[in-house]
Structure 1
Amino acid sequence: MYDGDAPKTADSPDTLAPPPSFPLPAPPSPPAPSVPPLTKIRGFRFFLLSRVTSALGSAVTSVVLPVLVYQQTRSPLLVSLVAAAGTLPYLLFGLVAGAVADRVDRRRLMVTADGLNALCLATVPLAAVLGVLTVGQVIAVALLSSSLCLFFDAGVYGLVPEVVGKENIARANGLLYGAESTVRIAGTSLAGALLVLLRPSDALVVDVVSFAASGLLVRAIGRRPRGAADPAPEVPPEVPPEVPSQEPGFVKSVGEGLRFLWGHPVLRVLTAVGTLQSFAGGAVVGQLVVHADRVLGIHGTDPRIGFLYTAWSAGGIGGALLLPLLRRRLDPLRILLVALPAGAALGVVVVFSADWRLSVVALTLWGSAYLVVLVNTMTYAQEVTPPRLQGRVNTTRRMLSSGLGVPLGALVAGALTARFGIHTGMSAAVVSVTAAALLALRSQGERVRA
């Protein structure tokens, strides 16, 4: 193989060329450069602390709100409506949030969203103290809080590659989701304890404080987050700087993100699979309180309800650890062919087991498979999307998966439970994951044939 140097001949002054049958041994490979830990990047440290802090409060809220509504109404459909309200904004405002995040300062957008979220959630314990809290207010707060989280997330998709570089996105996402999953275990366990000691509405104060702290930590990142050891410019050299005067109109800006997502064949399939899986997630989380009450014998404020939510969150740790290993060996579609069938099989155990301990184990493993699919899709999307389209493409993808899949799954499962029973409602999740696995298998078969 030509190595860039002129070959030496017998006339060379310093040595003779070796005979053709005895080639020179290849020079030893230089040692692989060490990969610095992401925690050495100052901006990423602040962002990681922000996400961990917010995850603790959100974990408490994810348990408290369904319990609060179920205690007041005993209605599976209204419990599902709370779960749907938590993700419906992705369907309503996903395109808008992505376009906004690509046109404004991402850090300022995220700080503003966190501050408003703290004020929004604070209205629930305040109304409870005044004796005017209603189910309608709880649902409205869930809807508004999730809308603000959507705008925060729209800024995250572009901020993470900006802080750590595209080559580190997979590691950063794995660390972020692994840390958040770990904290969610503590958060859901804390929620179970708080429900014994406090009214559900009072427990929301934890999330109020967490949003306020998260906003302060994001603000500390600075306007141009950059690692001290990474002198590279904020915009990669191969991508020309954007000229503000050439920014397309708002409608055209939204359409640009849609065209990119639809025109990328692998990303299009991963988005469809993510929507089906999110449907399953909405069905499970939306009916978990009802399933615990009617199947597992866990009633009211029994702290074991926290174990079930903890199991789902704990699975995220295994998923975060497993994904980097899978990505070294498998492409994104093949990863789906491993994780989705496993999730479907574990879902069957969750639906039909009457032993809460077995349900905890199955939920933990299912949570691992669920997170592998989630982070695999998000990482791939961030890797293949140009920097200026990060907000639009990724919020559109989330609009279809979380915005459409989660609320639809929650509402369908709630309606099926009300009409046919809890086993039928929870089974909707298994059917959806199975359909996602079949779609991934078909897509992989088409690629092989091509």
Structure 2
Amino acid sequence: MPPRLGRDFRWLLGSSWVSQVGDGIALAAGPLLIASQTHDPFLVAMGALLQRLPWLLFGLYAGVVADRLDRLVVVVAVDVMRAVVLGILVLALATGVVNIGLVLVVLFLFGTAEVFADTTSSTLLPMVVAKRDLGIANARLTAGFVTVNQMLGPPVGAALFAAGMAWPFVAQAVCVLLGAALIAKMRLPAVPAPEEPKRVRHDILEGLRWTWRHPAVRTLTLTIVAFNITFGAAWSVLVLYSLKTLDMGEVGFGLLTTAGAIGGMVAIGSYDWLERHFSLGNIMRVGLIIETFTHLALALNRSGLGAIVIMFVFGAHAFVWGTTSRTVRMRAVPTEFQGRVGSVYLVGVFGSMVIGTALGGVIAGTWGIVAPFWFAFVGSALLVVLIWRQMPHIAHADEALVAAED
């Protein structure tokens, strides 16, 4: 953590890492809870769908809230609400009244709170870190996601679930509240206030227009929408792929995510070198190829060890792609538009996942658990061909913005 990033960034990083521990625990415990209530592929996929559906319903409105209100207050208040929802789930599990219907309702409520928390918290980093340092700051935040969310959290979540279904969600609630306490210590610069109050609809349209008129952000948004449809279809049944196709057991499912995290850790050590030696456009091109062939490899694989190796490679790609795309977007967007433009991007991310998970459930229910991975491979391959020439535009826009600040 270079000292120039400042104290406020350290509070933000600490909050992010603590929250990621809880989210990582739920990453394994959530699908296992659903699988404990039903093995119907459609209902399993529905669990993932209902967590992401709120992005379609409330995502753009959350961007307006982030740009209009005190961002720290919004994040802290919503985190408290998330802890309350988790408390309801824990109470239901402890009293033995849980069923698949209740689980799906709780997932929807938690997903709704997460829309406002994630949209608003994503606006904080550009407020406390200079444009030239956003790459390294994003890498530090993403490193927390890789290590504690994907590597530490899932096996802990799976182990806690094996000890008792309520324990992982108790742990997640504690992490959410601690993260809120840490982020409340930040001190942010003032956000330029609008000259006069405007309708929510007007603010949403402003965010949409800004996104469409900026080539780099537009390209990023369209790319993530397309690829998350295929990704969502495959990942919606990953828990069943692990438990039934590979027969890896509950802890084995957690190990798949851990393998991806270890791949991400390898990428952490090489990211600075990649930025110095390759353009962002070429880095993203290679990443899209890796993601495409990940789906093919999982479709053909029938070995638990093979799946772990595949997830290792995918994890390295996911770290590099995520860090690069967030940095480009944050450098490009003015402070007063961070919420609205960020919400457009995040709605694209999760909205396309909604479509993908719904497709995954239908495809798996009709043609089998492996079928969504074949769908993801074919769809991704076609998309790579269509957007191949657009990737270099992202690199040029990013370099120009950093040069302008210098």
TM-score for both structures, normalised by structure 2: 0.90
Match of 1:341? 289
Match of 1:384? 332
In the TM superposition, residue 99 of structure 1 has moved relative to its aligned partner by 0.7
Q: Which runs of 5+ in 2 are unaligned?
A: 395-406
Residue number among 220, 226, 234 corresponding to 1:284 in the alignment: 234
Match of 1:255? 205
Deviations 1:300-345 (A, max 9, x none): xx42121012223333334444444433344443322111112212
In the TM superposition, residue 276 of structure 1 has moved relative to its aligned partner by 2.4
Structure in which a larger fraction of residues adopt helix: 2
In the TM superposition, residue 79 of structure 1 has moved relative to its aligned partner by 1.1
**How many residue pairs get matched?**
394
Q: CA separation in 2, counterparts of 1:39 and 1:87?
A: 36
In the TM superposition, residue 278 of structure 1 has moved relative to its aligned partner by 2.1
**Match for 2:296: what amino acid?**
V
Q: 3-state DSSP class of the match of 1:406? A: helix
Q: CA separation in 2, counterparts of 1:46 and 1:166?
A: 19
Match of 2:402? none
In the TM superposition, residue 195 of structure 1 has moved relative to its aligned partner by 2.6
- Is the Cα–Cα contact under 8 Å of residues 283 and 411 in structure 1 kept in the other structure? yes
Match of 1:424? 371
Q: Which runs of 5+ in 1 are unaligned?
A: 1-35, 225-233, 236-240
Larger radius of gyration: 1
The reply to whether residue 197 of structure 1 matches residue 147 of structure 2 is no
Q: CA separation in 2, counterparts of 1:128 and 1:265?
A: 48
- Is the Cα–Cα contact under 8 Å of residues 342 and 369 in structure 1 kept in the other structure? yes
**Match for 1:290: what amino acid?**
L
Matches within 5 A, 1:315-394: 315-394=263-342
Change (3 A) 1:273 1:407: same
The reply to whether residue 124 of structure 1 matches residue 124 of structure 2 is no
Q: CA separation in 2, counterparts of 1:242 and 1:411?
A: 40
Shifted more, 255-264 versus 242-251: the winner is 242-251
In the TM superposition, residue 58 of structure 1 has moved relative to its aligned partner by 0.8
Q: RMSD value over aligned CA atoms?
A: 2.3
- Is the Cα–Cα contact under 8 Å of residues 84 and 407 in structure 1 kept in the other structure? yes
Match of 1:443? 390
Match of 1:30? none
Match of 2:32? 67
Match of 1:294? 244
Change (3 A) 1:286 1:313: farther
Q: CA separation in 1, counterparts of 2:18 and 2:336?
A: 28
Q: CA separation in 2, counterparts of 1:188 and 1:446?
A: 37
In the TM superposition, residue 116 of structure 1 has moved relative to its aligned partner by 0.6
Match of 2:124? 159
Match of 1:269? 219
Q: CA separation in 1, counterparts of 2:279 and 2:344?
A: 23
Q: CA separation in 1, counterparts of 2:267 and 2:299?
A: 21
**Match for 2:34: what amino acid?**
V
- Is the Cα–Cα contact under 8 Å of residues 70 and 79 in structure 1 kept in the other structure? yes
**Match for 2:205: what amino acid?**
G
The reply to whether residue 98 of structure 1 matches residue 63 of structure 2 is yes
**Match for 1:260: what amino acid?**
W
The reply to whether residue 219 of structure 1 matches residue 184 of structure 2 is yes
Change (3 A) 1:148 1:405: same
Residue number among 341, 347, 351 corresponding to 1:399 in the alignment: 347
Shifted more, 36-45 versus 107-116: the winner is 36-45
In the TM superposition, residue 367 of structure 1 has moved relative to its aligned partner by 2.1
In the TM superposition, residue 374 of structure 1 has moved relative to its aligned partner by 2.6
- Is the Cα–Cα contact under 8 Å of residues 296 and 373 in structure 2 kept in the other structure? no
- Is the Cα–Cα contact under 8 Å of residues 79 and 177 in structure 2 kept in the other structure? yes
Change (3 A) 1:209 1:446: closer
Higher-RCO chain (CA-CA 8 Å, sequence separation at least 6) = 2
Match of 1:434? 381
- Is the Cα–Cα contact under 8 Å of residues 340 and 436 in structure 1 kept in the other structure? no
Deviations 1:339-370 (A, max 9, x none): 11122123222221111111111112112213
